[in-house]
Amino acid sequence: MWNIAGQVLGAGEKKKIILEPNAADYGIPSTLICGVKPGKTLLVTAGIHSGEYPGIPAAARLANEVDPLKLTGNIIIMHCVNTSGFWERIPNVVPEDGTNLNADYPGREDGGAGQRIADYFVKEIFPNIDFLVDLHSGSTMEELTPCLFFPKAEKVRKRALEAAKALNIPYLIESSNKSGECGYAANYFDVPGLLLERGYNSICRQEWIEAYYRDLRLLLSYLEMYGLDKPMEICTKNVYTDTVYLESEIKGLWFPAVKADQHVASGQYLGRIEDFYGNVLKKYYAEAEGTVFYYTCALSVTPGKALVAYGLEKGKIRA
């Protein structure tokens, strides 16, 4: 027997439902799977940023293909958390109140729709899970190379990092974030988790969906919840403990001079910002040797907008 978010499942049961996160007329399409043997409870979320697509069909495939009679433990799969943003094609926030579910935890019970969703996770989900994986991509304006973020939180860092090493993603980035889904669960509920990044520009390529599905199966195998049908190859890993998140200081037109997965030398030119007349307003250079994880490919930027993220070689560890 498994009780979660007001739902009760018996051993070996799978239930496809709409979870209602205390927000008027709001539902999250979800699948709950209760294994025949007791074990860990895993949360899988996609569509936190609703313009980041590949994780959404990958989550659906996992939900359809996991056999509860072969599962140890329980899985909560939320196919698309930000459903209103998904249908309205608003890529990064819950449109009703502008909440970014990767930045605005813990939310409020009496707030707007996004705040209520965050509050629902805090009260109903995080206290009842043992691990979480959150599927992202480069949204509408970022080209990226496959990478993942694991929490720096002392109590869960080691467990999250060891799980990350089991996946087929080459760049593992230590994150000090405390206000997104993964970061909040790690820092305030001691729940280890991973934020995965595959794909970009709101494109939903089949190979990215397939790769995400394999990542999920590898994670379930590592957690000893669900075995693999056959062995899967995994890549070598680099762990980055020091990452530069370069942001614009001004409004203008952004012209990047790098690509995702590119190695950059200390002092290398990264890009420039111009005005509408072609006048260069500012140039950006790498502060140290590193590897580009993602960069903004949008032309327009304003103060505080991301430009380039790159991990520093001085903080790299071969895993």
Length of the chain: 319
DSSP state, residue 310:
E
Q: How many other CB atoms are there within 10 angstroms of residue 235's CB atom? A: 11
Give the orientation angle of helix 206-222 with respect to helix 157-165, to 10 degrees. Answer: 120
Tokens 């496809």 -> residue = 16
List of residues 6+ apart from 108 with CB closer than 8 A:
115, 116, 118, 119
Tokens 């140290």 -> residue = 288
215 vs 55, 103, 169, 232, 235, CA distance in Å? 11, 24, 8, 10, 12
Nearest to residue 134, comparing CAs of 190, 68, 58? Answer: 58
How many angstroms separate the CA atoms of 46 and 139, rounded? 13
How many angstroms separate the CA atoms of 117 and 79, rounded? 15
Report CA 199 to chain centroid distance, whole Å. 12
Helix intervals (H) in the chain: 55-65, 83-88, 113-120, 157-165, 181-189, 206-222
**pLDDT recorded at residue 24:** 86
How many angstroms separate the CA atoms of 122 and 237, rounded? 32
Burial level of 134, CB count in 10 A (0-12/13-18/19+)? buried
Tokens 């990478």 -> residue = 147
Whether 149 and 173 have beta carbons less than 8 Å apart is answered as yes
Q: How many other CB atoms are there within 10 angstroms of residue 263's CB atom? A: 12
DSSP state, residue 297:
-
Whether 217 and 226 have beta carbons less than 8 Å apart is answered as yes
Helix intervals (H) in 269-316: none
pLDDT tens by residue, the chain, 319 residues:
899 999 999 999 999 999 999 888 899 999 999 999 999 999 999 999 999 999 999 999 999 999 999 999 999 999 999 999 999 999 999 999 999 999 999 999 999 999 999 999 999 999 999 999 999 999 888 999 999 999 999 999 999 999 999 999 999 999 999 999 999 999 999 999 999 999 999 999 999 999 999 999 999 999 999 999 999 999 999 999 999 999 999 999 999 999 999 999 999 999 999 999 999 999 999 999 999 999 999 999 999 999 999 999 998 999 8
**pLDDT recorded at residue 70:** 98
200 vs 80, 100, 186, 288, CA distance in Å? 17, 18, 26, 26
Is the C-alpha dihedral spanning 211, 219, 235, 173 positive or negative? positive
Whether 81 and 46 have beta carbons less than 8 Å apart is answered as yes
pTM for the model stands at: 0.96
Q: Can you read off the two tokens belonging to residue 306?
A: 């991301």
